[in-house]
Amino acid sequence: MLSRIAVADDLSTRIEEKIHDLCARSTCILSDMQRLILNEGDFAGAEGLLARLRDLGEMRLFLKDLDQSQQATEDAIFAIGSETLYAAYEKLCEVKTESILYAIGSNFGDIRTVERLIPLKLDKSEMAYASADPIASSKVLIGLEHYGSLLTCYFHAHPGNGSEANHPSSIDINNHTRLEAGNYCTVGGIFSRDGYLRFFTDKMAFRIIISGKGVKRVGADLWKLTATEDVSVH
Ligand SMILES: [Zn+2]
């Protein structure tokens, strides 16, 4: 079995190669843009290429962030795409009461991905409290093992707006204590109704890396979804 350091080094090399590849692609796009503008006067075409260039730039920054995180820390690292966060926010805001979404993913070295959302059957759903049906919850967890997937994250939403509306309650922390005791390496995420998202654990140190657009970091474990006006909230 490869050591943690060997896996980290291998991943770092692959990230470096990918960044190099992205740089080469960016250079090609730049020269294409130059040609379009100077030789063909095609400003619309050049603008399209500029959007691609920006995407590549964002991807490079994300990969650098990923590389530094996995080299510099022993914390559990969770990588999440903004699209998944918006999907979770939208789903949770469909109802006024609390509900819970499990999110599953995989391990890549020390990095856990958060990829697919699974709605969870609740035995209680009130304005400020939701608890998962324990049988339904166990079934989901057993089902994940069958495919080698992992519960990497779970989300719920609190009533209220603002960055202070989504601190974990004592019930939230107690639930997470049980997950940590069961060796689930997972992180909880709580939305406010206006799109603040706070991640939490009980004792496990963690880091979150968010890729994609529309999510801004506003605190240590706090992010804001910046395009919530596009999401229908009830
Ligand atoms: Zn809560």
**pLDDT at 57 (0 to 100):** 85
Distance from the CA of 41 to the center of ligand 1, in angstroms? 56
CA 156 – ligand 1 centroid, Å: 7
Ligand 1 mean position to 3 CA, how many Å? 37
CA of 78 to the centre of ligand 1 (A): 20
- Distance CA(83)–CA(62), nearest Å, equals 15
Cβ atoms of 56 and 32 closer than 8 Å: no
- 166 vs 45: CA distance, rounded Å: 44
Whether the pLDDT of residue 190 is over 90: the answer is yes
Instruction: Check pLDDT > 60 for residue 234.
Output: no
Residues 6+ apart with CB under 8 A from 85: 189, 197, 210, 215, 223, 225
211 Cα: distance to centroid of ligand 1 (angstroms): 25
The residue extents of the domains of the chain are: 4-72, 76-230
Q: Would you place residue 133 in the very low, low, confident or very high pLDDT band (cuts 50, 70, 90)?
A: low
Element containing residue 197 per DSSP (H, E): strand 196-200
Lowest mean pLDDT among 72-81, 122-131, 161-170, 225-234: 122-131
pLDDT of the residue at 2: 47
Q: Cα–Cα distance between 233 and 112 in angstroms, integer?
A: 29
203 CB-contact burial (10 Å; exposed 0-12 / middle 13-18 / buried 19+): exposed
User: Residue 71: what pLDDT?
Assistant: 62
- Rounded to the nearest angstrom, the distance between the alpha carbon of 75 and the centre of ligand 1 is 23
pLDDT tens track for 44-86: 888 888 888 888 888 888 888 777 766 656 789 999 999 999 9
Q: What is the pLDDT of residue 8?
A: 64
pLDDT at position 224 over 60 = yes
Ligand 1 centre distance from Cα of residue 189 (Å): 9
With 90 as the cut, is the pLDDT of residue 162 above it?
A: yes
Residue 190, classified by CB atoms within 10 Å of its CB into exposed (0-12), middle (13-18) or buried (19+), is buried
Give the separation between CA 98 and CA 92, rounded to whole angstroms. 8
Distance 70 CA to ligand 1 centre (A): 29
For residue 58, give the amino acid letter: E
Any idea which fold 76-230 has? Cytidine Deaminase; domain 2 (3.40.140)
pLDDT higher than threshold 90 for residue 100? no
Alpha carbon distance 105, 111 (integer Å): 10
pTM tops 0.75: no
**pLDDT of 225 strictly over 50:** yes
Q: Element (H or E) spanning 41, and its range?
A: none
Which residues have CB atoms below 5 A from the ion given as ligand 1? Answer: 169, 172
Least confident among 11-15, 37-41, 66-70: 66-70
Ligand 1 center to residue 169 CA distance, Å? 5
Q: How far, in Å, is the centroid of ligand 1 from the Cα of 191?
A: 9
